[in-house]
Structure 1
Amino acid sequence: MDNRYSVQEFIQKTKQEDKGQGLFELETERILEINLDGDIWAKAGGMISYRGDIKFVREGILEHGIGKFFKKALTGEGTSLMKASGNGKLYLADQGKKISIINLEGESIYVNGNDLLAFESNLDWDIKLMKKVAGMLAGGLFNVRIEGSGMVAVTSHYEPLTLLVEPGSPVYTDPNATVAWSGNLQPEFVTDVSLKTFFGRGSGESIQMKFEGSGFVVVQPYEEFYAAEQQ
């Protein structure tokens, strides 16, 4: 009898295993395991399973102050967060996207709001709406600035690529393919009519993000369009 496809073989190949990596653990490339003992913030709707005593609370409108409330109203539901509290194992995923864990050590990072999966509750965060492109890119473009010491989980379609930004050698990216960048960089939006038919395929196809200085920017081999752009 061929045991390659037996139930036991399937379980053996796919069962959860403790890797002893700490609070955030990549159970697979596309499933994040959180060994919860306290609180974490996660993308609303990102929970696929849990075990233990865990409570979920959707982010309160005024929990983080009136300033964030107004910015949240402008950015829509893309940054909706939930707080998971308690003890147990929590499993998160986002449409099968690849997950990367970044451990901040007193550093800061900007993450596209669509690509933020989870982060430790002790980290400071703030929503940043890029107003200059709100009229150029349908639905605008927003990101979350995270700072402090702790774990952040970000997602990307397929494998991410990190490009180093060096003085005198700016890096240009497609806004829809940009996942994250170092907190010390302030991207500038530029247009190049000559690239209109070559750079991107969305409504903002002639717009690029220009990164100058010293730092890094993370891109994915995929253009992530927002609901407003797809209509």
Structure 2
Amino acid sequence: MHSTLFAHVPVESTGRYTLQNPQLLKVEIGQGNGAVLARQGAMVAFEGQVDFQSQYKNRTWRNVERMAGERLELMKVKGAGQVYLAHYAQHIHVMDVGGGVTVGSGSVLAFDSSLGVGIVAVDSAVEVASAGAYNLELTGSGKVALLTSGEPLVLEVTPETNICADADAVIAWSTTLRTQMQAPTSTSAVWRRKGATGEGWEMQFQGRGHVLIQPSELLPPQHMRGGAFGFGLRGNSMGGSRN
């Protein structure tokens, strides 16, 4: 058999996470490493003795999911071997969590189970039911694999340079940043999905850190209620998932 397809063989590496191409990730399981938590259905192939289990979530986590109307179903991957992960051919980026990262649940592919997991919820006083719904706050020593639609852009935030971004394009940000949602300038546009300008809800970042955005906008926030045109996000350490 002869084909250019045979140029696409596994990339060898001693690291735990290795990109095979921009849209396919190989994860080494075992060899002294703990388990990996990955989004359910992301496995496209594996080698060796690898076990996949549904990840338990406590009652607080499930309650937050129900109220937010959004769910991130995780599976625990353990054993010994290699697992190949992908999700709708989105671009994959592996990063160290470092001082902490907050990420939209829909942009998570996998992360080390040793990381601490908290939930950052939209301020309930404003009752915006789907402005990202909820986000995961990852802390500790370890890595996370993120998904973007297209090649992303990293923006640095400093006290002198505050950053605003379309809420539907934001993927992740440093947990050190202060975050606030802002409505379109036209009050009548608040009640329409994109308003007269074509722009929807914006996220404002202040402090010192970084923001990761993608060159694609998801569906804008819907089911908006309440009279306020600006609101904050607040972090709640609810249902941390550790292993």
- Scaled by the length of structure 1, the TM-score of the pair is 0.83
| Cα distance in 1 between the residues matched to 2:106 and 2:94 | 16
2:214 is aligned to 220
2:168 is aligned to 176
| Cα distance in 2 between the residues matched to 1:218 and 1:93 | 20
How far residue 57 of structure 1 moved from its aligned partner, in angstroms, is 0.9
Output aligned runs, 1:1-231, within 5 Å: 7-20=1-14, 22-37=15-30, 38-62=34-58, 66-76=59-69, 78-105=71-98, 107-132=99-124, 135-136=127-128, 138=130, 141-194=133-186, 196-200=195-199, 205=200, 207-225=201-219
How far residue 69 of structure 1 moved from its aligned partner, in angstroms, is 2.6
Label 1:227 to 1:91 Cα distance change in 2 as closer, same or farther (>3 A).
farther
Whether the 8 Å contact between 2:69 and 2:133 is mirrored in structure 1 is: no
Whether the 8 Å contact between 2:131 and 2:167 is mirrored in structure 1 is: no
How far residue 176 of structure 1 moved from its aligned partner, in angstroms, is 0.7
How far residue 77 of structure 1 moved from its aligned partner, in angstroms, is 5.0
CA deviations over 1:3-24 (Å, ceiling 9, x no partner): xxxx43334211223133x111
> What CA RMSD, in Å, does the superposition of the two structures yield over aligned residues?
2.3
| Cα distance in 2 between the residues matched to 1:10 and 1:180 | 37
How far residue 226 of structure 1 moved from its aligned partner, in angstroms, is 7.7
| Cα distance in 2 between the residues matched to 1:132 and 1:125 | 20
Label 1:228 to 1:55 Cα distance change in 2 as closer, same or farther (>3 A).
farther
Label 1:33 to 1:40 Cα distance change in 2 as closer, same or farther (>3 A).
same
Label 1:197 to 1:185 Cα distance change in 2 as closer, same or farther (>3 A).
same
How far residue 228 of structure 1 moved from its aligned partner, in angstroms, is 7.3
| Cα distance in 2 between the residues matched to 1:139 and 1:25 | 32
| Cα distance in 2 between the residues matched to 1:68 and 1:154 | 21
Q: What SS does the aligned partner of 2:147 have?
A: strand
CA deviations over 1:182-212 (Å, ceiling 9, x no partner): 0111310112324843353xxxx2x210101
Whether the 8 Å contact between 1:68 and 1:126 is mirrored in structure 2 is: no
Structure number with the higher helix fraction is 1
Larger relative contact order (C-alpha < 8 A, sep ≥ 6)? 2
4+ residue runs of structure 1 moved beyond 6 angstroms?
A: 226-229
Aligned residues: 213
Identity of aligned residues (%): 26
| Cα distance in 2 between the residues matched to 1:100 and 1:145 | 17
| Cα distance in 1 between the residues matched to 2:18 and 2:148 | 17
How far residue 68 of structure 1 moved from its aligned partner, in angstroms, is 1.9
2:238 is aligned to none
Whether the 8 Å contact between 2:132 and 2:221 is mirrored in structure 1 is: no
How far residue 80 of structure 1 moved from its aligned partner, in angstroms, is 1.2
Whether the 8 Å contact between 2:70 and 2:134 is mirrored in structure 1 is: no
